[in-house]
């Protein structure tokens, strides 16, 4: 027994040493991860209360469910895991008037004080679509679904993420409502989802600009904004960013027209020989950006961006100054081109003229990380498992998902500050960089510190009875409706 005890002690010491080498905290701190979540939530608790009720306990239960559950993170399952009335959770998410905007603002203001974001963080603007089986949910419509690459019945969100080379996190979002949602034909649907009367149609770039303005107002630190071609091709959005002094990197389609010499804007004459409102652009060197890929005047370099699973990610970059036209006014921008094998990306940027190609390449390439943010929100925080009809439910789910994401990000940042990885592991594994703790890693540690309740035989029996009872009520309701319907 003594030998066995010594062996167990040695194994524990070896495990602790190995864990610290990977930058993990001591076991005692991992065991208190549940307390950390409660303390974290206490900083935001007041934003989940209403004037008449303290509903903040539901917020902690819901946040805990998003972080600890591995699937079926919908209102019914979260309420069951937390042993809370499903009706109360439903009301908290769909009907309770607590402000999602106030909660997100509080998260952004806390982020603004984090030292890791003070130098080099980039805001990334993108959208993400969820396929829907019907058009009952707020915003659901037949529209382009980027995940599927085609038009389908979908619900689309526009999201803003704050990223560095170490962490990435959603910090804001807006539900996109197709123009048809504001037509008279959709009046009943607007009423069903309780869409606020103050809500008006906005394009996705307009929603993105609103979110960027909110981030600036809340003091979120960033050096640039990166965005895909849906937003990058918006001349209005690029102009607004430029006028606000915000550096941007906007992907554009390959057929985007630019000029290597300043175009002259010439009014088209009417039949009477008078200048009309219509104009033509005259320039000697007019190009679609794809035709500049091999142009001799481009500055070129192969730049190492970041490590990936196959080693170090390198890409070819090229750039030149070009002219574009905004509302009949010529303006200069950078054309930045990135080539990865057969894939070519074209980018317009207002970076200062003395910006190095390496810096432009690095900032543009942050757009990769919002794909990671979107994936984490869906697979790790249950975004794609959410089911609700009302507009406010989407808003509240977004706020709580952002809060969950910030808990994981803040925990990772704190541990990275206090617990460093052992450089000897680089030589041991013969690699140039070690992986950082992921969202999945933190969630796994949290589940160990706060185990989900196991379903007892009696609990399972009660659940089955409730399920059968609900099915019976549904059948009775359908039969009653059928009997009331007039015969054809």
Tens-digit pLDDT profile for residues 282-335: 899 999 999 999 999 999 999 988 765 555 688 999 999 999 999 999 999 999
Which pLDDT score is estimated for 191?
Answer: 96
Angle at 218 between CA 213 and CA 220, to 5 degrees: 85
CB 373 within 8 A of CB 163: yes
Residue 173: the pLDDT is 97
Average pLDDT, the chain: 89
pLDDT (tens digit, 9 = 90+) per residue, 192-211? 999 999 999 999 999 999 99
- 169 C-beta neighbours (distance < 10 Å), count: 27
Q: For position 296, what pLDDT does the model report?
A: 94
Q: Global pTM?
A: 0.89
- Helix (H) / strand (E) containing 260: none
Average pLDDT of span 52-74: 94
The answer on pLDDT for 3 being more than 70 is no
Q: In this predicted model, what pLDDT tens digit does every residue of 109-153 receive, in sequence order?
A: 999 999 999 989 999 999 998 888 888 899 999 998 887 888 899
In the predicted model, is pLDDT for residue 1 greater than 50?
Answer: no
Which pair of structure tokens corresponds to residue 156?
């689309």
Reported as a single tens digit per residue, the pLDDT across 232-285 is 999 999 999 999 999 999 999 999 999 999 999 888 878 777 777 788 888 999
| Buried/exposed code over 412-426 (b: 16+ C-beta within 10 A; e: otherwise) | bbebbeebebeeeee
Concatenated DSSP letters of 30-59: HHTHHHHHHHHHHTTGGGG--SS---HHHH
The continuous run of DSSP H or E covering 479 comes out as helix 457-484
Relative orientation angle of helices 33-42 and 439-449, to the nearest 10 degrees = 100
- Supply the pLDDT for residue 267: 84
The answer to whether residue 486 scores a pLDDT higher than 60 is no
To the nearest 10°, report the CA torsion of 25, 30, 35, 37: 80
Residues sharing a CB contact under 8 Å with residue 463, sequence separation 6 or more, in sequence order:
80, 455
162 has a pLDDT exceeding 70: yes
Q: Which residues contact 259 (CB under 8 A, 6 or more apart)?
A: 281, 283, 285, 286, 287, 322, 323, 324, 325, 330
3-class DSSP state for residue 182? helix
Report the range of poorest mean pLDDT among 168-172, 431-435, 441-445: 431-435
């Amino acid at each position: 027994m003594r030998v066995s005890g010594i062996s167990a002690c040695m194994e524990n010491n070896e495990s602790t040493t190995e864990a610290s080498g990977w930058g993990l905290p001591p076991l005692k701190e991992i065991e208190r991860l549940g307390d950390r979540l409660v303390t974290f939530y206490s900083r935001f608790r007041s934003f989940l209360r209403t004037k008449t009720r303290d509903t903040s306990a539901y917020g902690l239960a819901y946040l805990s469910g998003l972080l600890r559950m591995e699937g079926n993170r919908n209102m019914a399952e979260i309420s069951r895991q937390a042993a809370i009335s499903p009706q109360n959770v439903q009301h908290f998410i769909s009907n309770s008037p607590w402000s999602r905007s106030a909660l997100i603002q509080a998260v952004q203001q806390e982020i603004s004080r984090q030292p890791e974001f003070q130098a080099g963080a980039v805001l990334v603007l993108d959208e993400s679509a969820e396929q829907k089986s019907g058009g009952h949910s707020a915003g659901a419509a037949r529209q382009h679904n980027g995940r599927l690459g085609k038009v389908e019945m979908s619900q689309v969100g526009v999201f803003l993420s704050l990223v560095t080379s170490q962490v990435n996190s959603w910090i804001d979002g807006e539900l996109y409502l197709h123009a048809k949602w504001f037509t008279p034909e959709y009046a009943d649907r607007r009423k069903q989802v309780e869409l606020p009367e103050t809500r008006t149609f906005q394009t996705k770039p307009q929603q993105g600009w609103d979110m960027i303005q909110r981030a600036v107002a809340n003091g979120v630190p960033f050096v640039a904004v990166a965005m895909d071609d849906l937003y990058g091709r918006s001349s209005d959005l690029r102009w607004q960013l430029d006028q606000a002094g915000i550096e941007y990197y906007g992907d554009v389609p390959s057929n985007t027209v630019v000029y290597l010499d300043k175009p002259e804007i010439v009014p088209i004459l009417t039949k009477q020989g008078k200048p009309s409102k219509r104009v033509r652009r005259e320039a000697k060197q007019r190009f679609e950006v794809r035709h500049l890929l091999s142009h001799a005047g481009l500055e070129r370099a192969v730049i190492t961006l970041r490590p990936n699973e196959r080693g170090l990610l390198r890409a070819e970059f090229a750039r030149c100054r070009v002219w574009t036209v905004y509302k009949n006014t010529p303006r200069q921008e950078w054309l930045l081109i990135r080539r990865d094998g057969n894939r070519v990306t074209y980018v317009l940027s207002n970076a200062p003229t003395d910006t190095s190609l390496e810096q432009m390449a690095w900032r543009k390439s942050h757009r990769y990380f919002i794909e990671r943010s979107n994936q984490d929100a869906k697979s790790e925080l249950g975004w794609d498992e959410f089911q609700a009809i009302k507009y406010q439910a989407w808003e509240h789910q977004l706020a709580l998902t952002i809060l969950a994401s910030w808990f994981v990000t803040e925990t990772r940042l704190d541990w990275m500050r206090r617990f460093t990885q052992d450089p000897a592991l680089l030589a041991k594994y013969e690699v140039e960089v070690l992986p950082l703790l992921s969202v999945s890693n933190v969630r796994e540690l949290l589940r160990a510190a706060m185990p989900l309740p196991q379903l007892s035989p009696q609990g399972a029996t009660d659940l089955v009875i409730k399920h059968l009872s609900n099915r019976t009520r549904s059948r009775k309701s359908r039969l009653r409706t059928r009997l009331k319907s007039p015969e054809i």
